[in-house]
Every structure is written in C-alpha cells, then in structure tokens.
A and B are shown apart, each in its own frame.
Chain A
C-alpha cells in the first residue's frame, strides 16, 4: 500500500456543529502533503482524527496500515499541535530530552533535533522566555525527535521569519526524501506551492485533492490563491444550484 493515511467517509461533530462532512482523502507516503483551508475549516479536527485523539461519528481513518490511534502507532507518528505544547518551565533542551526519552532516543539525538529547528543558541533557555516563533520551533523539535514515519504538523510555520520558514520547508522535503510522510497544515496559500500534494478543505468539505500543477491546470490560473478561489466558487455554485454548470 502506497498511502500513509487513508480517510474514508469521515464525519465528526464537535458539540452540535458538524465539523467534517464525510471527508475521503489519502496522504501518499514519502511526500509533503499540504492541508489548506481558512481557519475554522476543520483542518485541526482532521489532523486530530489522523493522530487518533479525536472522537469520530462515522467513517474510518487508516494510518500506516493500522486504525488511527492504535497503540503500536504511538512511536511511529509525530504530532505538532497548533498551540505549542511544551513545558514553559523547562529549557528547550530539557523538553527535547524528555520527549526523546519517551521514544527511547538519546540525549545526543535530542540535542540534534534542537539544532535542526535552529534553536541551538537558545537550548538552555526556559521555553517560557522564548518568542512565539521560537516556542513553536521548540515544540516542533519535540515532535520530530522520535524520527516518526508519519509527521502531522498543525501550522508549523506561523510566526516564523521568511528565512526560517524556507529552512523549515527545506527540512520537511529532506525528511520526505528520506521516506517520511508529512501532512502540514497552513492557512497561508503561498505555502501551497511548496507542497508535493494539496488537500483543500472548506467548511468541513474537501474541495481539492491534487498536485499543485494539476490544480493550476484544472483552473487555468497560475496563482494558487486564485485557483483555490475558483475551486471554492465552483463548489459553492455546485451546492447552491445542483446540476447547474459553472464557468
């Protein structure tokens, strides 16, 4: 099987609101797949379902050939939550070493994960004293330290400066080249072009599941933001006037 993640007819309600309305999609192995959509579209909920921490109403999520959330997946999947979930009262290094220990990794591997996200200089600083962008990278180091086969990253580049953002994307592609499967969410469309494959969701529905080039070809525009706009209009028109042709 070539897909790292397979989602079939996934329906999730949170409270009384239907957050995911029957989503089916796949995340191919060894690639960087972008999960794009405006805030509130259901990106985080879909990611949580893949990690196996979201209660779902119906549908199936298969991760690396196992049902999502299966105990044997816990050392094969790395998850970066949107809000940095690291201990503010520990240093960057202590955080990384703790998460490394949970995955049976050494101090040296933890220190390398800290260096890889560009925090070597801040390694002995308490996370609580870091800037938002640094804190988010500290959290990223903790998600990557176990060298998981599948990496789920919820908005990893928010608040990072452009140079660091480019570095992080380069690193994601290095990991993919080495066989890691990555699912990276973003609400900034200019990051879409950096992905091998795109999933666009809006209001809990999947609007596109294709490569960036194919999305450009289908819509006939080069700019992905404009392309998405057309896809959204097309899907809305399709919902509003069933059967009616859209231009």
Chain B
C-alpha cells in the first residue's frame, strides 16, 4: 500500500461522486424524508411509562441503517462498473495495490456515509426532537462504522454479480435479514433459539445494540465499544475477502 496512491484513489472516487449531483442530493434528502414519515407514523402512539418513545427507539436504529443500505448499493454498483468498463483490469496493471483500491473505497464512501449520518442525525435530533441519553456524535460514529462495513460487503458482493441487475439484488440478500433480526421488530432475547443464533453472527445486530446503548446511557459503555469493535472487525474481514476476489490475471 502507498499513501500517495491511496490518497489519489480516495480523491478520484469522491470526485466521481461530486460530478453526480443527483446522487449527492438523494444521499442528503432521502434519510430526512424517511425520518419525517417515521415521525408522523408514531407521533400519536402511546408510550409506556419509563420507556423511550417508539419514535426514539425506531429513529435511532434507522440512523444506523441508512448509511448501511445506501453505501452497500453505491459501492456494489461502483465496483461492478470498475469491473465491466475495464478500469479495474487497467488499474491492476499499474503500481496500484489491491488494498489501495479497497481502502480508497472504504475511506471515500465511509466519509460519504458519515456526512449522510450527520445530516440525518441533525434532522432527527433538532427537527423531530430525538432523545438519547448519550451523545449525537456516538450515533454518527456508529453510523459511519456501519457505512464502512457496507462498503466492504459491497466490494465483496460485487464480485458475484455480472450485471447491475444482479448487483442490486444482493441488497435484499445482505440487508433485509439483518434488518429483520437486529432486534428492531422483536427483541433478540425473545426470538427462537436458532433465530438468535443467526442474529448473533450478523454484524448489524451489534451495531443496533451499540446504538441502543447510546440511547440508554449518558456515557459510552463497555458493551458499546465491544459492539463497535465487532462491526469494525467484520468490515476488515469483508475487505480481506474482497481483496481475494481481485485477480490480476484472468481467462
């Protein structure tokens, strides 16, 4: 890996994103619109005494999910394009290292995810009065780690798609089971044993637990840091797997 090449690659990916104004607008606007929907869905729901409101509970988890889903899609399409337009093969004939490319994507779209999470959190806290015991910046940090995990999974999954049609279909495969089993709909402790076991190996379960820790505790807890570590570790593992899919030679 070379810092110069990594920086050039990160800059190149961000420049591509910047030229696509409509994508940038969608990244910024869509989470705010969806949060608005969620707010008005739950605004009249009664809250049991001593518990967070339904909006607080759902919005907090959604803040972690937006960057995950969006960055997974953006990355898998971007990487598929590199493969289909021949730029990937060309890059691999230059002094660029595989990790320069993979970390370039991780940093560039991780940053984009962090910006998206910051704006979405600002709307959730200041427009809709989201209330958490812990700091907004912990929420943004967890969302950014989720974004990096999504980028790593997207880089890996794009190796198994030949077309963009196939690539987008990996989104429900990768994201929906994690959304269903993360504890948002049914608390993880109340699920059947085998579902809990599945939930235990899905990294987003830990991201959601970390967000719930921020919701319930004023100071960052040990559980939260452990969970963030697990999500980051899953991201590194996915990046290593993605590196294994990049072959300099092919038939």
Whether, in the assembled complex, B94 has its beta carbon less than 8 Å from a beta carbon of chain A, the answer is yes
Known: A52-B249, A94-B12, A101-B5. A79 touches B90 (CB 8 A): yes
Contact of A87 among B8, B12, B95 (CB under 8 A): B12
Residue pair B251, A79 in contact (C-beta under 8 Å) = no
| A186 CB, nearest partner CB in chain B, Å | 19
Contact of A102 among B8, B16, B249, B251 (CB under 8 A): B8
Interface size band for B: 20 to 34
Report the Cα distance A54→B247, complex, angstroms: 10
Q: A98-B12, A102-B5 are in contact. List 8 more A-B contacts (CB 8 A).
A: A75-B95, A79-B93, A81-B90, A83-B85, A85-B86, A87-B16, A102-B94, A102-B96
Known: A79-B90, A79-B93, A94-B12. A85 touches B5 (CB 8 A): no
Chain B: which residue is nearest A14 at the CB level?
Answer: B251
Residue pair B12, A83 in contact (C-beta under 8 Å) = no
Which residues B1-37 have CB closer than 8 A to chain A?
4-5, 8-9, 11-12, 15-16, 19-20
| B104 CB, nearest partner CB in chain A, Å | 11
Residue pair B94, A103 in contact (C-beta under 8 Å) = yes
Known: A75-B94, A85-B90, A90-B16. A53 touches B250 (CB 8 A): yes
| B169 CB, nearest partner CB in chain A, Å | 23
Residue pair A54, B249 in contact (C-beta under 8 Å) = yes
| A80 CB, nearest partner CB in chain B, Å | 9
Which residues A41-97 have CB closer than 8 A to chain B?
51-55, 69, 74-75, 77, 79, 81, 83, 85-90, 94
Report the Cα distance A69→B96, complex, angstroms: 13
Whether, in the assembled complex, A169 has its beta carbon less than 8 Å from a beta carbon of chain B, the answer is no
Q: Mark A139-151, 1 if CB is under 8 A from B, else 0.
A: 0001000100000
Whether, in the assembled complex, A243 has its beta carbon less than 8 Å from a beta carbon of chain B, the answer is no
Whether, in the assembled complex, A240 has its beta carbon less than 8 Å from a beta carbon of chain B, the answer is no
Residue pair A74, B93 in contact (C-beta under 8 Å) = yes
Known: A53-B250, A86-B87, A87-B87. A94 touches B15 (CB 8 A): yes
Chain A: which residue is nearest B17 at the CB level?
Answer: A89
Which residues B203-251 have CB closer than 8 A to chain A?
248-251
Report the Cα distance A173→B107, complex, angstroms: 42
Report the Cα distance A104→B12, complex, angstroms: 15
Chain B contacts for A83, CB-based, 8 A: 85-86
Report the Cα distance A55→B250, complex, angstroms: 5
Whether, in the assembled complex, A162 has its beta carbon less than 8 Å from a beta carbon of chain B, the answer is no
Chain A: which residue is nearest B100 at the CB level?
Answer: A102
Which residues B68-112 have CB closer than 8 A to chain A?
85-87, 89-96
Contact of B19 among A51, A69, A90, A146 (CB under 8 A): A90
Sample 8 A-B pairs with CB under 8 A, ordered by A number: A55-B249, A55-B250, A79-B93, A85-B85, A85-B87, A87-B12, A102-B91, A142-B90
Chain B contacts for A26, CB-based, 8 A: none
Give the top 5 A-B pairs by smallest Cβ distance, nearest first: A85-B86, A101-B8, A98-B12, A85-B90, A102-B94
Known: A55-B249, A98-B8, A98-B12. A103 touches B86 (CB 8 A): no
Known: A87-B12, A90-B19. A15 touches B251 (CB 8 A): yes
Residue pair A90, B15 in contact (C-beta under 8 Å) = yes
Report the Cα distance A81→B250, complex, angstroms: 15
Residue pair A55, B251 in contact (C-beta under 8 Å) = yes
Report the Cα distance A81→B89, complex, angstroms: 9
Chain A contacts for B251, CB-based, 8 A: 14-15, 54-55
Chain A contacts for B12, CB-based, 8 A: 87, 90, 94, 98
Whether, in the assembled complex, A126 has its beta carbon less than 8 Å from a beta carbon of chain B, the answer is yes
| B156 CB, nearest partner CB in chain A, Å | 21
Chain A contacts for B20, CB-based, 8 A: 89
Chain A contacts for B8, CB-based, 8 A: 98, 101-102
Contact of B93 among A14, A53, A101 (CB under 8 A): A53
Chain B contacts for A53, CB-based, 8 A: 89, 92-93, 248-250
Chain A: which residue is nearest B96 at the CB level?
Answer: A102
| B150 CB, nearest partner CB in chain A, Å | 21
Chain A contacts for B11, CB-based, 8 A: 98
| B81 CB, nearest partner CB in chain A, Å | 9
| A79 CB, nearest partner CB in chain B, Å | 5
Known: A75-B94, A90-B19, A94-B12. A69 touches B85 (CB 8 A): no
Chain B contacts for A99, CB-based, 8 A: 94
Chain A: which residue is nearest B90 at the CB level?
Answer: A85
Chain B contacts for A94, CB-based, 8 A: 12, 15
